[in-house]
Amino acid sequence: MEQLLIKKKEIVSAFLKHNILVNRELLERLNQPHIVDEWHQAITQGKNPKELIEKKQETTGVRIIWEYDDKPKKRTVQDFVDYFNARYRQIQKLLTSRQDLQNLTSISRLRSKKDSEKISIIGIIQDKGTTKNEHIMLTLEDTTGTIKVLVRKSAQDLMNTAKDLVFDEVIGVSGSVGDNIIFADSIVIPDIPIQQMKSSPDEVYACVLSCVHVGSGGFEHEKFNNFIQWTQGEFGTPEQRAVASKLKYMFICGDIVDGVGIYPSQEKELSIPDIREQYKECARLLSQVPKHITMIICPGNHDVGRISEPQPKFLKEYASPMYDIPNAILVCNPCLVNIHASDNFPGFDVLMYHGYSFDDYSECVPSIKHSGTHISDRAALVMRFLLQRRHLAPQHSSTLYIPDPRYDPLVIERVPDLFFAGHIHKAGTLNHRSCTLIAGSCFQAKTDFQEKVGHDPEPGVVPCINLKTRNVAFMRF
């Protein structure tokens, strides 16, 4: 026992020496004596510890780039202040290099500027309102102070951009200085850069699922069984089977079970009333997915555990059968992973997010709300909106979140090649610059709640992306 502890300590110090983050997952792997022996032997033989943890990547083609690993703790008001300051700094960094933000200055320095002088500032939106003359008045804040920004009604394009702005997002503004006010000429949102879309050297597919809701009375058994059979090459038209034969990655973006106690009287609508049994059944179903397909699975707001984002992986205490699926990689929500890298291809960076914040933006952003689409068809529009903001839930009220004082984990710092989500129960896709956005649908029939609020889910639709052509096909089961 003592020997094992010494070995463990030596492994951890070797990891630290090579700047490897010793996270919870790594420590869990070190709870297995055979891994301790294997790794210790490799390290004493002079092997680089990085090779040990990347072993999984070699076999699955999946590497976790970013996941959140922080112990729960009591949060203070100061944490919220620091959190928003951190968000400001992170997005400020993305905006500072923008050509369209000339004569960039801080808000406190505006006092020394001449009347009508042209300047730019970067600020977080503290307030937004409409004046009695129907101009839009923003209040922007940076680390040095606050300032009012007027967007004139006559500037139509600028007004349209301003109408879509939400509280707490970070933007750049260029304009001229007035008396304690800026008259805006342009508004700059961070967005992602224009760059070429990557394509895989070989033809391989990834599919996107969300909201399986195992355990719900409305779980679509037949559709899900058809889907599983399709992954095995046993279901579908010859064209669909051809896609299945090249399927290598399956992303499941949360709500894999229906959960327990998620909303009032949910127990009346459950076919499996016990949360552990729900995960057991889910794991039984997913275990039938062929082993050459790697599943990457994150939780959603129906899953067990803390739902504040970043949401940790499924709690092992309740969802242990999920951990026994050999071809499943369980991740937190959101998460950034790289897939399909090879010696001559960097792979695709995939941002995965359940999408709890989407409801808010599909209603409060005028260009999305009035896009002529039904509320259930807006997921991809919301995803584009958030990618442009470089934040998964900028508005304070749009999701529950951890106010980490060190950095804002919901800022989209690294530009993803693929952005996968769900939550809305209807599949959708669009390309924005170099990124393909895909919302998965669900495997749950329309619930009474959805009927009441006018949602129109489309269960059993699975979007599949050809990573060579970047075309997305919708498979119906």
Binding-site ranges for Fe ion (CB under 5 A): 255, 300-301, 423
Q: Which is nearer to Fe ion, 141 or 255 (CB)?
A: 255
Both tokens of 240, joined, read 């669909």
Give the residue at shortest CB distance from Fe ion: 423
Which is nearer to Fe ion, 123 or 299 (by Cβ)? 299
Q: Which is nearer to Fe ion, 390 or 423 (CB)?
A: 423
- What is the nearest approach in angstroms of Fe ion to the Cβ of residue 355? 7
Distance CA 263, CA 256 (A): 16
* Helix H or strand E encompassing 459: none
Work out how close the CB of 222 gets to Fe ion at its nearest, in angstroms, rounded to a whole number. Answer: 22
**Closest approach of Cβ 423 to Fe ion, in Å?**
4
Residue (of 174, 123, 120) closest to 147 by Cα position? 123
Q: Pick between residue 429 and residue 441 the one whose CB is nearest to Fe ion.
A: 441
Q: Which is nearer to Fe ion, 256 or 365 (CB)?
A: 256
- Segment holding 400, helix H or strand E: none
- Comparing CB distances to Fe ion, the nearer of 300 and 459 is 300
Helix-helix angle 221-231:238-245, to 10 degrees: 60
Alpha-helical (H) ranges within 45-164 are 49-53, 55-60, 77-96, 156-164
Least distance (Å) between residue 303 CB and Fe ion: 9
The nearest distance, CB 425 to Fe ion, in angstroms, is: 8
Burial class (CB in 10 A: 0-12, 13-18, 19+), 184: buried
Q: Which residues contact 445 (CB under 8 A, 6 or more apart)?
A: 218, 220, 457, 459
At its nearest, how many Å lie between Fe ion and the CB of residue 419?
17
Instruction: Collapse the DSSP code of 86 into the 3-class scheme (helix H, G, I; strand E, B; otherwise coil) and give the result.
Output: helix
Q: Taking a C-beta distance cutoff of 8 angstroms, is the pair 162, 187 a contact?
A: yes
